[in-house]
Amino acid sequence: MAENRNSSAAPQPMIPRPGGGRRGPGPVMVVEKPKNAKETLIKLIKYIGSSRAIFIGLIIVMLIITALNLVAPSLQRSAIDAISADGVDFVKMGNMLALLLLTYALNAVFTYFQGIFSAKLSQFAVRKMRTDLFAKLVRLPIKYTDTHPHGDLMSRMTNDVENVSTTVSQSIGSLISSVLTVIGSLVIMIYYSPLLTLISISTIVLTIIVSAFMSRNMRKYFIAEQTLLGTLNGHIEEIVTGCKTVTAYNKQKDAADKFDGISANLKKAGIKAQIFGGAMGPSMNVISNIGFLLVAVFGGKLALEGAITIGTIQAFILYSKQFSRPINEIANQYAQIQSAIAGAERVFDIMEAETESEAGEIEFHSEDVKGDISFKNIQFSYVPEKPVLKGFDLEVKSGEKIAIVGATGSGKTTVVNLLMRFYDVDSGTITIDGKDISKVSKSELREAIAIVLQDTVLWDGTIADNIRYGRLSASNEEVLNAAESANADVFIDRLKDGYETRLSESGSNLSQGQQQLLSISRAVLKDPKILILDEATSSVDTRTEMNIQSAMVALMKNRTSLIIAHRLSTIRDADRIIVVDNGRVIESGNHEELLANKGAYYRLYKNQFEGIAT
């Protein structure tokens, strides 16, 4: 049963929902301050450099392509200078033209290899990034996924990573070539004419000023665009997941209006990003053409004075264009590069989030657990200064069956979250067999506990696969026995394919009761020392509940069991019933004792079974 902790003064981006996580988008965000592009680029380069052989191969290919590009204008210069007032040197011209043809042919061949190396480099780098991101996601604490929209996390895994992939594939070779071409062209231009070189690069200052202005604005809107895309995905996931509720409450128009609002903000950010991104290339081309005009005018003057030949002017114009072309290409790709950097920043935000520490300070082995549990003066809050548990104390003996009841928001499910170490206490101590669980390995702790939640989670696969999730090494016979213990075999045997029946998405081809029976079968198969049932029978009908109850009697034998319950009929035979209110234990005893006391439990019972208004 979810607890009411949705306070308005939460400093976190979202208030966590215990054991679940928020499925919808948060408030629409527009990022005004860009993050550190330099750090992001360094991290990206590390991923690109992880495929060292391919990266070196790409550099070698780009060196050859750049050399061929730099040779071509010199060959053209020699071919043009073969023409003079005295006639044409056809032998020289023929040789130069043959070499020029060979140069262009080799350029085409190596450009083809450049495409292959770029594609491989991109896919290897992005595969490693995607693998690292997913490995990080599954190791993030529950608090992180509870406080971040699931749709946004999915967007980072898919849209943002794919954006990086496309950019690396299309831009990495171009960037390498640009650096090499600029250096090579500058050296040759200086060799031909230092004066023309100065004239040619005079436009660089203007290029830097214009690109700095446009990139500052462009980057802001590309980051906002990626963020809003994640928000949009979150809203889509929320509506698709809750489509029946949306339809039942006739909220289709509200859902569409909200989508339209987010989409409108995305459109605005996208238009502004594309305006600045699209204007970058033409602006750079105008500046480049100004430089070309200056070279043509001053070059013609030098040729008339006999300082240089016509062929040299032609070659210099080509080198001048080669010098400015890489800058223009980068400018034309800048929008895409900025979008990729914005996406990469969002990916690295997850990668740099703090993960759960698996190491334990003290020795703890799940197979040796007896099941004595102690909560001592537990103080805990999901949101600072909004405490949920306030001095919670509870002692549970090995093998004891404890039921925890209370009104919504009293702190019942929080007790489970803390025992499982989905969250850690603010103060106080939780021990199992006298060992402080904050000092033991989380993986070993969770091996000793099986939990059945109110919201059933089933995976893509067969019924047998889903039951075996409790213990992957289990034999077929053990799977069958677990299903029989949970009374799940009754409905499984009626299915056409039995245990090999494939489940639809989230088990939608089964009823809620059948889904919960599979979840309980999974817990049975795990054979835990400690069993937690968090509203495990709330989604089943009365008859199914009776089947589960009879299975639970055998399952709970010789196991420490904690039952979070709203239906008080399910916990009458508990050894002790703990009544929680306002984060504290206010009553403790068995069913008969608590009814006789006529306290909080008595009122809860009367409200539920006799219809007394709460």
Mean predicted confidence (pLDDT) in 56-83: 85
pLDDT at 396: 92
Q: What is the pTM of this model?
A: 0.65
Read off the amino acid at residue 494.
R
Highest-confidence range of 221-235, 307-321, 468-482, by mean pLDDT? 468-482
Residue 501 is given by DSSP the state P
Tens digit of each residue's pLDDT (9 = 90 or more) over 393-419: 999 999 899 999 888 788 888 999 999
pLDDT at 238: 78
Contact at 8 Å (CB) between 93 and 79? yes
- Residue 6, pLDDT above cutoff 60: no
101: confidence class by pLDDT, cuts 50, 70, 90: very high
234: confidence class by pLDDT, cuts 50, 70, 90: confident
160 CA to centre of own chain: 9
27: confidence class by pLDDT, cuts 50, 70, 90: very low
The Cα–Cα gap between 357 and 471 comes to 23
pLDDT at 13: 36
Weakest mean pLDDT among 31-35, 280-284, 497-501, 593-597: 31-35
Mean predicted confidence (pLDDT) in 260-269: 87
Mean predicted confidence (pLDDT) in 492-514: 83
pLDDT at 18: 42
Mean predicted confidence (pLDDT) in 531-551: 70
Mean predicted confidence (pLDDT) in 36-46: 81
pLDDT at 118: 85
Write phi, then psi, for 227 (nearest 5 degrees): -65, -45
Give the residue among 183, 62, 73, 206 at the shortest CA–CA distance from 121: 62
pLDDT at 551: 64
Q: Which residue has the higher pLDDT, 297 or 421?
A: 421
pLDDT at 460: 81
Q: Count other C-beta atoms under 10 Å from residue 291's C-beta.
A: 21
Q: Which residue has the higher pLDDT, 1 or 307?
A: 307
Tens digit of each residue's pLDDT (9 = 90 or more) over 329-367: 766 676 677 778 888 888 888 888 887 777 778 888 888
307: confidence class by pLDDT, cuts 50, 70, 90: confident
Tens digit of each residue's pLDDT (9 = 90 or more) over 116-155: 888 888 888 888 888 888 888 888 888 888 888 777 888 8
85: confidence class by pLDDT, cuts 50, 70, 90: low
Q: Which residue has the higher pLDDT, 608 or 126?
A: 126
CA torsion angle for 62, 68, 74, 75 (degrees, to 10)? -170
From the DSSP assignment, how many helices (H) and strands (E) are in the chain?
20, 12
pLDDT at 432: 93
Give the DSSP H or E segment for 436: strand 435-436
The three-point CA angle 151-152-155 to 5° equals 90
pLDDT at 480: 92
Read off the amino acid at residue 612.
I
- Residue 288, pLDDT above cutoff 50: yes
pLDDT at 573: 80
pLDDT at 464: 92
Compute the mean pLDDT over every residue in the chain, rounded to the nearest whole number: 80
273 CA to centre of own chain: 23
Burial of 358 (0-12, 13-18, 19+ CB in 10 A): exposed
Weakest mean pLDDT among 30-44, 169-183, 234-248, 362-376: 30-44
Contact at 8 Å (CB) between 519 and 468? no
Which string of b and e fits 39-75 if b means at least 16 CB within 10 Å? ebeebbeebbeebeebbebbeebbebbbbbbbbbbbb
328: confidence class by pLDDT, cuts 50, 70, 90: low
Q: Which residue has the higher pLDDT, 215 or 436?
A: 436
177: confidence class by pLDDT, cuts 50, 70, 90: confident
- Residue 239, pLDDT above cutoff 70: yes
pLDDT at 16: 44
- Residue 220, pLDDT above cutoff 90: no
* H helices present in 252-387, as ranges: 252-304, 310-351
Weakest mean pLDDT among 294-303, 365-374, 551-560: 551-560
